[in-house]
Structure 1
Amino acid sequence: MKKVIKIAGILFVLLLCAAYFLPAVQSYSHIPGEIYILKGSSKTIDLGLPVKADVDSSGVVNISGETLEKGALMQSPLVIKPLNYGKATIELSIFGIPVKTVRVNVTESLTVIPGGQSIGVALDTRGALVVGITGVQVSDGKVENPAREAGMLPGDVIIRANGIEIQNAKQLMKIINETQGTLALKLDRNGRTIDIFVNPVHDPSDGKMRLGVWVRDNTAGVGTLTFIIPDTRQYGGLGHAITDLDTGSVLSVREGEIYFSEVIQINKGESGIPGEIKGFFSNSSGHMGNIEKNTEFGIYGKVFDDVDLSAFGEPIQVASRDEIKTGPAQILSTVDNEGVKAFSCQILRLNDQREPEQKGIVLQITDKELLEKTGGIIQGMSGSPIIQNGKLVGAVTHVFVNDPSKGYGLYADFMLGMLD
């Protein structure tokens, strides 16, 4: 009987401890796992209980006046103050039990000019992109396919032929027809370099020598500018890569330019049918800048020196990740010839992404004017800046095919990380 009473007493004490400590421990789940702090500012975290805090990167931050190189017991609240730019990891524990890991990023305040302008994109690829493999009917009526026999695949980029760097499809055709016998090709296949040897065949229909491939060396389209950094004139746009329509391959850049574009037609989006902005641009439209990079997270380059940046609007700050909240926001976009307009939207969900990824932001267009004109997000709006509380938080990148009022966005810091 005494043993039962003793066990009951222990359980009662444990329940009292749980009642006291559990709400406090649960409160740590609300502390963000990643915090961005501007140098010169601070971040306060309220805690339910005193904790031991360890910092693995001394000299970047201090907590409540302590650098915590060997850890220390801290009272609530914790005040995190940056000392230098960089990253630190703070481990919080109670009675030796880890309860939370907080990654701290100390950054400088970055100011950008938000975009929203419709831009024309003209891109010449590095080498010649293979978009299709086809047979060649030779003189005896047989069909041969030297490219397939040599192991060539759609999506391969022909970067050299007989040691000569390929600039375009026309040059490649010239080398093929000047070659006697076997042709040595160097390919880029998903970032890997491959050497193959091909034997071109004679096409009696026009007397040319052929490999049996369809190739492409340029592309053009319309998108939206996301931001310009005023000091360096660097820009970012689109928020996703320019890819080949046939192969889905990300096009490598040999050279390219962006242009001021004029909106000439809107095809309204519907469920299952993506809409589209049709634009017009040419040399006479006005060159805006060059294209230096085409990445999974957009295109990047520099705005030309003769372009007046004051015409693009006032600079704003880039929001740190922990400043972005679900709720009201705006996108900046151009859907007619009246220039950039702000349209209301709601940020529905924020996905926790530590490494650059697409689809971090889920948003829904709520602006009646934009819904009436476009149905929501349509092709050509990719890159439209997302603004919340006067700061740049990201860019529109994709639309929900079955609900064009909804779409995805890319965090602004991922785009800025693509800049050199």
Structure 2
Amino acid sequence: MKLKNKLIALAGAGLLLTALRSAPLVELFELPDRVVIYENEEVGLKCSFPFSLYENQNSLVLSASADIANDSEIFKHLGEGENEIIRGNVPVSFLGMEIKNIEVYILPQKNVTPGGMCIGVSLFTNGVIVAGNSDISCQDGKKVNPAMQAGLFDGDIITKVNGQQLLNARQLGQLVEESKDKPIKLSVLRNNKSVEVNITPAYDVYEKKYRLGLWLRDSTAGIGTITYADNENKKYAALGHAITDPDTGTILPVGTGEIVECTINDIVKGKKGIPGELKGSFRLNSPAYGSISANTEFGLYGDTYSDIINELYPQGVQVASRNSVKEGKATILTTVDGQGIQEYEINIIKANKQDVRASKSMIIEVTDQRLLEKTGGIVQGMSGSPILQNGKLIGAVTHVLISDPQKGYALYIDWMQE
């Protein structure tokens, strides 16, 4: 009798495991917990089994139509005007049983000007970046390293000296020289945390001045591409990734800076194992598009001085959510020569499921022979080039695959807007 009961129990466990491994339940667990879509946008959720959304729908297509958004039993309206967000928990059913809720946010539709224009970036940091350290030769023939002894690390950002705001490396040198061999207090930003470091300068017999034994960086310059402009609010976004210190990888904190018009002078075509590059030039007094206010993991941001116009899309384009992105054909807007902004065909090889902000949202491949002949694919300087699909802005080019310059990574436009 006991043996029979054990067999029944084992059989029950086997049925449970079979159910858990069944395709419908696997697909259920893969459905997102949170979906963000724009007004009048429809998003199909990948599923081959007969799940259905709440009673007003009989499929797994999320619609942001007016009828759906005004369903007061499901959705609540938060905020007003362009800041209004419609939020609801949409139940998912299987064979008539409610088994899951998807948190849905419906955002007001935005119309922006797609970028594609090449820009020169001139950025001065807020504070100075520690890029390395070096020994100092003293009068007694010994070598000392005040920076290492004080516990300063590569990537540290020095923001103040004895409580005085630090603007650049030259100012730090002047304050050190004035202090001579007296200890000074440095306010340092390290891994987004503030620390205080006491350090005593040493006299360098070769340089004939007092030094801390630091290699410092307080500015950078380069070229990239504008992703979009919000002319109504006088804002722009560019690059799709951060500007970092080349030695330490630290994201450079913004003090001041501008994005300006840039001229492409030459192209180094990309080859397998060797990334290509757009070679451009600009001057600090070149006509400017706008100021730089933020340098983040997901792009460069700031205020525009005047409306930015893309002649290919003078009326602008709508923005599409990451949930509406499909693998397959798309286009990019970019400038690689004197012909200005051109639109080129690409293929989205993979669109990753991302519920939180993250880089490498998509893997893309250049398929347009015109661009391949000019650049060999994706090259440095194209970062930020907007990606369009079905006439809507969905993302931005960010990096090239060094092993295959025809391919690269891209970022969902959602992550550049949050």
After TM superposition, is the score higher than 0.5?
yes
Residue identity opposite 1:186 in structure 2? S
Equivalent pair of 1:47/1:78 in contact (CA under 8 Å) = no
The alpha-carbon distance between structure 1 residues 76 and 376, as it changes in their structure 2 partners (threshold 3 A), is: closer
Aligned-pair identity in percent equals 39
Aligned to 2:389: 388
The alpha-carbon distance between structure 1 residues 386 and 202, as it changes in their structure 2 partners (threshold 3 A), is: same
The CA deviation string for residues 69-106 of structure 1, in whole angstroms up to 9 with x for no partner, is xxxxx866887611332433334355897754423121
Matches within 5 A, 1:136-215: 136-180=136-180, 181-215=182-216
**2:130 is equivalent to residue 130 of structure 1:** yes
Residue identity opposite 1:90 in structure 2? V
Aligned to 1:240: 241
Q: Secondary structure at the match of 1:322?
A: helix
Q: How far 1:123 sits from its partner (Å)?
A: 0.2
**2:290 is equivalent to residue 289 of structure 1:** yes
Aligned to 1:377: 378
The CA deviation string for residues 272-298 of structure 1, in whole angstroms up to 9 with x for no partner, is 111111111114431110000000001
The CA deviation string for residues 344-381 of structure 1, in whole angstroms up to 9 with x for no partner, is 10001111111110001110000111111111111000
Alpha-carbon separation, structure 2, partners of 1:50 and 1:403:
40
Q: Secondary structure at the match of 1:364?
A: strand
Q: How far 1:179 sits from its partner (Å)?
A: 1.0
The alpha-carbon distance between structure 1 residues 47 and 296, as it changes in their structure 2 partners (threshold 3 A), is: closer
Q: How far 1:303 sits from its partner (Å)?
A: 1.1
Deviates more, 1:95-104 or 1:402-411: 95-104
Alpha-carbon separation, structure 1, partners of 2:385 and 2:145:
44
Alpha-carbon separation, structure 2, partners of 1:405 and 1:209:
51
Aligned to 2:80: none
Equivalent pair of 1:113/1:312 in contact (CA under 8 Å) = no
Aligned to 1:68: none
The alpha-carbon distance between structure 1 residues 311 and 76, as it changes in their structure 2 partners (threshold 3 A), is: closer
Q: Secondary structure at the match of 2:343?
A: strand
Alpha-carbon separation, structure 1, partners of 2:101 and 2:399:
32
Aligned to 2:116: 116
The CA deviation string for residues 221-277 of structure 1, in whole angstroms up to 9 with x for no partner, is 000110001201210000000001111110000010000100001011111111111
CA RMSD across the alignment: 3.1
Aligned to 1:82: 69
Residue identity opposite 2:230 in structure 1? I
Residue identity opposite 2:131 in structure 1? V
Aligned to 1:59: none
Q: Name stretches of at least 5 consecutive residues in structure 2 with no aligned partner.
A: 71-76, 78-84
Alpha-carbon separation, structure 2, partners of 1:41 and 1:333:
26
Aligned to 1:57: none
Aligned to 2:326: 325
Give the structure-1-normalised TM-score. 0.83
Equivalent pair of 2:123/2:256 in contact (CA under 8 Å) = yes
Equivalent pair of 2:270/2:379 in contact (CA under 8 Å) = yes
The alpha-carbon distance between structure 1 residues 42 and 397, as it changes in their structure 2 partners (threshold 3 A), is: closer
Q: Secondary structure at the match of 2:354?
A: coil
Give the structure-2-normalised TM-score. 0.84
The alpha-carbon distance between structure 1 residues 106 and 206, as it changes in their structure 2 partners (threshold 3 A), is: same
Alpha-carbon separation, structure 1, partners of 2:279 and 2:149:
41
**2:287 is equivalent to residue 300 of structure 1:** no
Q: Secondary structure at the match of 1:285?
A: coil
The alpha-carbon distance between structure 1 residues 47 and 153, as it changes in their structure 2 partners (threshold 3 A), is: closer
